[in-house]
Amino acid sequence: MTAAVTGGARAGEEPQVVVVGAGPVGQTAALLLARWGVRVLVLDRRGGRDPAGSKSICQQRDVLDVWTAAGAGRIAQEGLTWTTARTYYRDRELFSWSFQGEGPLPPFVNISQSRTEELLDAAIAGQPLVEVRWGHEVTGISQDGRGVTVHCGPRSVRAAYAVVCAGARAQPLRQALGVAFEGETFDEQFLICDIRADLPGWESERRFYFDPAWNPGRQVLIHPCPGGTFRIDWQIAPDFIPTQADISRKIRQIIGDRPFELLWNSTYRFHSRVASRMRVGRVLLAGDCAHLVAPFGARGLNSGVPDAENAAWKLAFVLHGWAPEELLETYHDERHAAALENLEVTAATMRFLAPRTPEDRARRRSVLERGAAGEVDSGRFAEPFWYVDSPLTTPEPSRPFTGRPARGAACAPAPGVILPDAPLGGGRRLRELCRDGFLVLLGDMCDSSLFVQVLGKVTTAPLAVREFAEIDGTGTLAGTLGARPEEAWLIRPDSHIAAIIPHAGPEAVAAAVSRASRLSWS
């Protein structure tokens, strides 16, 4: 049983959802909502796109998967995947490691945020359900039982819901919504430069330097990017204001007398903050508007895009009448928990990178001098958050969540965990089957026709019932995933496993579908 969602804009129709902010998170939300047949208006205070600066550069595999589903697969194709991460202390290399993860998509790519935005803009240009208006600063949002009114000075627009992706500086909107944004700002300052240079061998390596002679007592991080460009981050003194001569000198200390072109530079400070609420009635907060973390580990945009995906499918289900409005509260439940985990992980990294107490400084010095690879924390790379405690997840004792895996390792499939991707032959991927609604995957011992009959009475949402054996044509998928012949797996529209049901019967799967969409079932 399958169903497709289609839709088209009609002249004079008001948007169903207003997205505030045309950065990558807002762009993603708009594209995914339109994919569900929802009319979207995107408002941004800027006069147009700012094409300069790498900003957020490292995009994780599961985010690339979302963008591919949204029609921006070129991001994965154009990005650069380095193979080796090297870590140095002063003048010696401590250790190196490589990403081992296999899959249809690369484990990550490095690509500038400005280019990512261009590619997302191209996808939006081909989407008739999305309208973008620049030069519209949102000054307030009011709401009632029927919808929201988004105010842009004397102008206003009505919609059923709003998604605020207005970035870190959206404090007036947060305050108007009654949302606190508690946390801290680190004193340490960082200088970023994008350069173009010929650095043979460096184009496949990420380099992290602790306490190098040319930046004593602080860190330097070097990332390769496409087109012979490199992103360099220096930790600098809190009160240091670098001149162009300072920047040139710092670059020369790293690359020597090789020619280079300085493309862009900026300074920034780290923040660790999380919104007290990510859903306020008909308004959802996403991305930097809802959470700020230190960038080591690339957990900023890589958590903002899952915010957008989570919001999009839930808003679509409510707008289409496939789920009650209570489903939207689980957006806060799930993504707020994800933000808190990111805060915990990045806070531990910052205690190592910028220790504030004598004890932390002594521990860091000991770890670096011993070269204890397992204790050096330069940032745990972004990974999906697992909704094991979500009210939408059906627990299964025989499939327990085993906890956060080792760095670079995949998490064993369990309820709440994101479904591993896998090639299906003919250039297809498993995750491509998960984006159009609920997906029920059945083992060999399950009768698919019986499931279709029962589940069709439970939900009007798009839902497909497939057997593991039929999907890839080779009969190996179940073994690859570790699925058992008597099991049924329920996959959410964002590829997370909502339930794994042993000795599955249609009624048990129907109950899991109802739970995953907040429907009543008896």
Element (H, E) at 122: helix 113-125
C-alpha closest to that of 237 among 221, 261, 255, 217? 217
How high does pLDDT run on average in the chain? 91
The pLDDT of residue 159: 98
Query: How far apart, in whole angstroms, are the C-alpha atoms of residue 70 and residue 483?
Result: 28
pLDDT above 70 (res 521): no
Q: Are 337 and 476 in contact (CB under 8 A)?
A: no
Confidence label for 390 from pLDDT (cuts 50, 70 and 90): very high
The pLDDT of residue 471: 87
Confidence label for 8 from pLDDT (cuts 50, 70 and 90): very low
The radius of gyration computed from the CA coordinates of the chain, to the nearest angstrom, equals 24
CB contact set of 20 (below 8 Å; sequence gap of 6+): 26, 43, 44, 138, 141, 150, 162, 163, 164, 165, 166, 170, 173
Least confident of 342-351, 403-412, 484-493: 403-412
> Phi/psi at 425 (nearest 5 deg)?
90, 155
**CA dist 311 to 32, 142, 358, 437, Å?**
9, 19, 43, 14
Confidence label for 5 from pLDDT (cuts 50, 70 and 90): very low
Q: What mean pLDDT is predicted for residues 309-332?
A: 98
The pTM (predicted TM-score) of the whole model is 0.94
C-alpha closest to that of 147 among 130, 162, 128? 162
The pLDDT of residue 89: 95
**pLDDT tens digits along 239-257:** 899 999 999 999 999 999 9
**pLDDT tens digits along 192-232:** 999 999 999 999 999 999 999 999 989 999 999 999 999 99
The per-residue DSSP string of 408-456 comes to TPPPPP-TTSBPPP-EEETTEEGGGGSTTSEEEEE-TTS-HHHHHHHHT
Query: How far apart, in whole angstroms, are the C-alpha atoms of residue 138 and residue 157?
Result: 10
- Which residues is 279 bridged to in the sheet? 284
Burial class (CB in 10 A: 0-12, 13-18, 19+), 516: buried
Q: What mean pLDDT is predicted for residues 480-503?
A: 94
The pLDDT of residue 474: 72
The pLDDT of residue 522: 54
Q: Are 499 and 512 in contact (CB under 8 A)?
A: yes
**pLDDT tens digits along 43-82:** 999 999 988 889 999 999 999 999 999 999 999 999 999 9
Alpha-helical segments (H) within 203-328? 244-255, 301-319
Element (H, E) at 109: strand 108-110
In the sheet that 161-164 helps form, which strands lie side by side, from edge to edge? Answer: 130-134, 40-44, 17-20, 161-164, 283-285, 279-280
pLDDT above 60 (res 404): yes
User: What is the pairing mode between strands 283-285 and 161-164?
Assistant: parallel
C-alpha closest to that of 223 among 91, 351, 112? 112
Confidence label for 12 from pLDDT (cuts 50, 70 and 90): low
The pLDDT of residue 475: 76
